[in-house]
């Protein structure tokens, strides 16, 4: 089920009612688990088996790891989990990519192998990382294994975060199941407003910007330089609105059911460095990569050169996680390179901008320069071939005279995003999360509902991160 | 002041639940009241259709103003006979345009509509005062136009009936209703009372939000929610364009026969203008169109029957090559996609005026598809220059 389709609010409302009517914590868990399986099967029931297999594999390996075993056997169990999870991911997500890449490289020596018609199971990248993190944490003895299959299944399949995150660690989620989560009245308003915020970001911002971004990136050679520049900004706004909107809906939905999911976005376009950007963008992925990839690779413990290499490898694989295509690898490499450069110049140690503060030109310049670097990265991320990438930059840098197109709704959406970011930096930040008793709250909610009802596009775009 | 706005009520000053409910009721109603006030400027107007006994058809209501915001930001005044943007100028030489929403032209302001551009162009280029009536109705096709033409002809005595065809399926519908039966029901019955009521109270916001919620925007039918498990085999939207393979020779022949009948019925005062969406942007800029082969086949037949045709494809493509401008699309839509814009209307108007009053050297008029640059037989040219009173 897609959060942006009309069925979802009805489904969520029904589940919240059922959960609040349940008499025991056990009943509530069963209801949410059944809802999660239905949520996933609504897209395609045939892949439920894969989800169940992944759940059972890591639950049983976790239990085995919980028993004191020799180190070699523990390593073997960990390897089995890695092989099972990453093998499945590699097959469904990367098989064709590797075959095609190998063919492109070795076809002159007679290498030919057919690709397969493989459907990518939705959310596989996300739930694979979740189950892996559980097994690794149990292996490292940071977590006691979960004995209840019900609890573990709920952790893996919890529907608000199942298909596109946030990537929740077992260490964050399983304790919530112990304290018997329930629908709390005091969580209804925060949950609903977060849900509404997510819908506004998705329906009014991301979907509006997608129209321009899709057109400009598809045929950049047709458009004028200024139009392409706005198109690139539109894509930056689209992907932020889309993914952070999805995360808001997920967090809001979970909150309505009595669960807390981790924050995934923190105004990333206000980052003062690329290091800071990754502390604000898809935070659950960046911390996952840090804890389960960068640090095991050696982190910063083996000298400067190894640190830079580790950063680049981590981001390369992070890029590849996003999709099986070279543009994602290039995007990851770009960010890895920038992170390494920042590490080398000391920029990475700049403090994170957290509190509202008066505007200074120095901070403004840092934000602007970081944003430009991020935009360059987005052009790599969005273009599907090197030719398209070059055509885009050729038209942009030559201020090419083509079709001059300035869609007012896209510009309004970008302006709205800019104002929201400016408010977040200023003393007016509380306006962005007013409590229920504030007199302005109902007005803002009323305007948001009206805007969604009136300006939602006839055909909602699928969430960008669904493809990952 | 600023602090007062952003400050939350003090915890010590506990607002009672009654006060809280009152806040919320006032806030929600107040915000929707603001939306209601702004609705007429921000949203498409509610369209009211009434019976027109003179034209023996359904038309817009004379005197209404239509604001259009979906594509283009245009305002249309509904003139006499419920024709959008028509202001009679007293000329006895009348051209009647038939077509779908492209001729209706609510996406562009009145002065940019095809009909008004034809009036200006004929006066400017040929010093001929004519009147042009836009009979286009959104969602209609050639079956409807044919049905409505006799009454209009009887009432108006035009020198020319021009069918503006932007989608080949609209033309083929005359011979094979099964090919495209998308004729819009709204033009076969006046608007229901609820629409009149909503229009009277400027209920654009409520009307549009309710419609968005209750009706499927793709099909226009009442929305149904799906609760079954996937995978879903996606039902494609019925194709509106045809490949040569879809349009059989039989359909092409039948269409041509019907058009020949109409051509004779109206004493040769009949022309078909074909203006598909080319060039189009599909992964790259393309000057071809999926309907090309089917159209070329039909055009060859029409040429052999001496049915006049104006083909805008070459003209549109030449304009792109020369000026990099497209006939379709708006800033609040997508370039090259959607309805004709003011430029496209201008180019079409020039072609119609040239057909009516110009020389026989025009590139586009009635040329066989195999040799579009050369004009053969154009029986209409000289006759229309001396139009009957």
Tell me the pLDDT tens digit for each residue of B35-85.
Answer: 999 888 888 898 899 988 887 888 899 999 999 988 888 999 999 888 899
**CA-CA distance, A122 to A3, in Å (whole number)?**
14
Burial of A104 (0-12, 13-18, 19+ CB in 10 A): exposed
User: What residues of chain B, 243 to 302, have a C-beta less than 8 Å from chain A?
Assistant: 281, 283-285
Tens digits of per-residue pLDDT, A291-329? Answer: 999 999 998 888 889 999 999 999 999 999 988 888 999
pLDDT attached to residue A201: 94
pLDDT attached to residue B9: 53
Substitution target from A122, A443, A466 for chain B, most B beta carbons within 10 A: A443
Compare B118 and A434 and report the one with higher pLDDT: B118
pLDDT attached to residue B217: 75
Tens digits of per-residue pLDDT, B3-45? Answer: 555 555 554 444 567 778 888 999 999 999 999 998 888 888 9
Residue A290 has pLDDT above 90, yes or no: yes
> Measured between CB atoms, does B222 come within 8 Å of chain A?
no
> Measured between CB atoms, does B321 come within 8 Å of chain A?
no
Tens digits of per-residue pLDDT, A387-438? Answer: 889 989 988 888 878 888 999 989 999 999 999 999 988 888 888 888 888 8
Longest dimension (CA), chain B: 91
Q: How many angstroms away from the CA of A277 is the closest CA of chain B?
A: 28
With pLDDT > 90 as the criterion, what percentage of chain B qualifies? 25
Which residues on neighbouring strands pair with residue B95, listed in sequence order? B132, B160
- Across A134-138, B198-202, B319-323, which has the greatest mean pLDDT? A134-138
pLDDT attached to residue B244: 52
Substitution target from B21, B23, B26, B211 for chain A, most A beta carbons within 10 A: B23
pLDDT attached to residue B371: 41
pLDDT attached to residue A2: 85
8 Å CB contact of B335 and A405: yes
Give the predicted TM-score (pTM) of the model. Answer: 0.87
8 Å CB contact of B281 and A215: yes
| Interval A164-172 mean pLDDT | 90
8 Å CB contact of B27 and A441: yes
* Chain A residues within 8 A of B43 when measuring between CB atoms: 454
> Measured between CB atoms, does A454 come within 8 Å of chain B?
yes
8 Å CB contact of A445 and B209: no
> Measured between CB atoms, does A296 come within 8 Å of chain B?
no
Tens digits of per-residue pLDDT, B269-319? Answer: 899 999 999 898 877 888 888 888 888 988 999 999 889 999 999 999 999
8 Å CB contact of A437 and B27: no
* Chain A residues within 8 A of B284 when measuring between CB atoms: 219
8 Å CB contact of A450 and B209: yes
Q: Which residue of A has its CA nearest to B16?
A: A437
The band of A178, judged by pLDDT with boundaries at 50, 70 and 90, is confident
Residues with Cβ < 8 Å from B188, sequence gap 6 or more?
A: B58
Strands B49-52 and B57-60: antiparallel
Compare B249 and A454 and report the one with higher pLDDT: A454
End-to-end CA distance of chain B: 73
User: What residues of chain A, 189 to 248, have a C-beta less than 8 Å from chain B?
Assistant: 211, 215, 218-219, 222
Residues with Cβ < 8 Å from A30, sequence gap 6 or more?
A: A150
> Measured between CB atoms, does A406 come within 8 Å of chain B?
yes
| Interval A259-263 mean pLDDT | 94
Residue B375 has pLDDT above 60, yes or no: no
The band of B234, judged by pLDDT with boundaries at 50, 70 and 90, is low
| Residue in the block written with tokens 């005026």 | B353
Mean per-residue pLDDT over chain A, rounded: 89
Q: How many angstroms away from the CA of A68 is the closest CA of chain B?
A: 43
Q: How many A×B Cβ pairs under 8 Å?
A: 119
Question: Could you tell me the sign of the dihedral formed by the alpha carbons of A225, A228, A230, A236, in that order?
Answer: negative
Q: Which residue of B has its CA nearest to A436?
A: B20
Mean per-residue pLDDT over chain B, rounded: 81
Residue B359 has pLDDT above 70, yes or no: no
8 Å CB contact of A431 and B213: no
Residues with Cβ < 8 Å from A420, sequence gap 6 or more?
A: A432
The band of B237, judged by pLDDT with boundaries at 50, 70 and 90, is very low
**CA-CA distance, B264 to B209, in Å (whole number)?**
48
pLDDT attached to residue B2: 53
Substitution target from A37, A427, A447 for chain B, most B beta carbons within 10 A: A447
Strands B131-134 and B49-52: unpaired
Q: Which residue of B has its CA nearest to A440?
A: B27
Backbone angles phi, psi at B66, to 5 degrees: -110, 120
Tens digits of per-residue pLDDT, A24-63? Answer: 889 999 999 999 999 999 988 888 999 999 999 999 999 9
**CA-CA distance, A391 to A386, in Å (whole number)?**
8
Residue B213 has pLDDT above 50, yes or no: yes
């Amino acid at each position: 089920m897609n959060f942006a389709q009309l069925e979802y609010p009805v489904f969520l409302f029904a589940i919240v009612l059922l959960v609040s009517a349940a008499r025991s914590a056990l009943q509530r868990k069963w209801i949410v688990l059944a809802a999660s399986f239905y949520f996933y099967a609504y897209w395609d029931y045939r892949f439920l088996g894969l989800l169940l297999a992944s759940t059972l594999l890591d639950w049983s390996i976790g239990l085995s790891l919980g028993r004191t075993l020799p180190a070699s056997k523990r390593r073997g169990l960990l390897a089995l989990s890695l092989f099972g999870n990453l093998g499945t991911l590699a097959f469904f997500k990367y098989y064709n990519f590797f075959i095609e890449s190998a063919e492109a490289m070795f076809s002159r020596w007679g290498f030919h192998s057919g690709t397969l018609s493989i459907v990518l199971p939705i959310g596989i990248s996300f739930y694979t990382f979740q189950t892996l993190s559980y097994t690794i944490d149990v292996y490292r003895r940071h977590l006691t294994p979960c004995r209840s299959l019900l609890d573990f299944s709920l952790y893996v399949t919890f529907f608000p975060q199942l298909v596109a995150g946030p990537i929740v660690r077992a260490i964050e989620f399983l304790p919530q199941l112990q304290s018997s989560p329930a629908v709390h009245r005091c969580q209804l308003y925060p949950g609903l407003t977060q849900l509404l915020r997510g819908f506004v970001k998705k329906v009014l911002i991301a979907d509006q910007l997608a129209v321009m971004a899709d057109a400009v990136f598809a045929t950049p050679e047709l458009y004028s330089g200024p139009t392409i520049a706005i198109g690139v900004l539109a894509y930056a706004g689209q992907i932020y609105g889309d993914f952070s909107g999805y995360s808001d809906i997920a967090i809001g939905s979970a909150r309505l059911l009595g669960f807390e999911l981790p924050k995934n976005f923190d105004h990333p376009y206000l980052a003062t460095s690329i290091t800071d950007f990754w502390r604000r963008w898809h935070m659950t992925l960046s911390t996952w990569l840090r804890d389960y990839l960068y640090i095991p690779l050696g982190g910063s413990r083996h000298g400067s050169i190894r640190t830079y290499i580790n950063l680049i490898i981590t981001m390369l694989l992070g890029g590849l996680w996003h999709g099986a295509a070279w543009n994602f690898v290039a995007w990851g490499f770009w960010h890895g390179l920038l992170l390494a450069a920042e590490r080398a110049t000391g920029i990475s140690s700049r403090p994170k901008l957290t509190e509202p503060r008066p505007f200074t030109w120095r901070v403004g310049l840092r934000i602007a320069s970081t944003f430009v670097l991020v935009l360059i990265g987005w052009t790599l991320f969005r273009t599907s071939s090197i030719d398209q990438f070059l055509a885009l930059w050729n038209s942009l840098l030559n201020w090419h005279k083509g079709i001059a197109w300035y869609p007012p709704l896209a510009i309004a959406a970008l302006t709205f995003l800019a104002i929201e970011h400016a408010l977040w930096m200023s003393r007016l930040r509380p306006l962005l999360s007013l409590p229920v008793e504030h007199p302005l709250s109902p007005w803002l909610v009323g305007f948001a509902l009206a805007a969604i009802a009136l300006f939602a596009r006839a055909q909602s775009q699928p969430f960008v991160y669904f493809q990952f | 002041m600023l602090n007062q706005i952003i400050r939350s009520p003090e915890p010590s000053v506990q607002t009672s639940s009654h006060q809280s409910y009152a806040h919320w009721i006032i806030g929600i109603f107040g915000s929707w009241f603001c939306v209601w006030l702004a609705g007429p400027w921000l949203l498409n107007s509610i369209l009211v259709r009434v019976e027109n006994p003179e034209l023996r058809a359904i038309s817009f209501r004379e005197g209404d103003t239509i604001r259009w915001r979906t594509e283009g930001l245009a305002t249309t005044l509904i003139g006499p006979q419920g024709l959008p943007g028509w202001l009679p100028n007293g000329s006895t030489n009348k051209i009647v345009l038939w077509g779908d929403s492209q001729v209706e032209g609510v996406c562009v302001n009145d002065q940019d509509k095809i009909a008004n551009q034809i009036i200006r162009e004929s006066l400017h280029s040929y010093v001929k005062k004519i009147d042009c009536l836009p009979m286009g109705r959104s969602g209609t096709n050639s079956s409807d136009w044919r049905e409505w033409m006799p009454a209009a002809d009887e009432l108006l005595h035009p020198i020319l009936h021009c069918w503006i065809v932007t989608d080949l399926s609209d033309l083929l519908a005359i011979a094979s209703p099964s090919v495209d039966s998308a004729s819009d029901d709204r033009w076969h019955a006046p608007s229901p009372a609820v629409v009149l009521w909503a229009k009277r109270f400027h209920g654009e916001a409520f009307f549009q939000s309710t419609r968005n919620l209750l009706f499927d925007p793709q099909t226009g039918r009442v929305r149904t929610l799906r609760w079954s498990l996937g995978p879903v085999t996606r039902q494609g939207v019925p194709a509106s364009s045809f490949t040569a393979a879809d349009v059989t020779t039989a359909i092409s022949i039948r269409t041509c026969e019907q058009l020949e009948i109409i051509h004779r019925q109206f004493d040769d005062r009949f022309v078909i203008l074909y203006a598909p969406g080319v060039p189009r942007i599909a992964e790259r800029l393309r000057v071809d169109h999926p309907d090309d082969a089917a159209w070329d086949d039909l055009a060859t037949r029409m040429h052999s029957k001496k049915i006049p045709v104006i083909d805008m494809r070459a003209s549109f493509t030449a304009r792109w090559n020369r000026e990099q401008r497209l006939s379709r699309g708006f800033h609040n839509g997508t370039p090259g996609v959607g309805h004709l814009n003011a430029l496209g209307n201008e180019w079409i108007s020039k072609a119609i005026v040239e057909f009516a009053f110009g020389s026989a050297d025009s590139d586009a008029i009635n040329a066989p598809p195999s040799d579009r640059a050369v004009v053969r037989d154009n029986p209409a040219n000289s006759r229309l220059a001396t139009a009957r009173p």
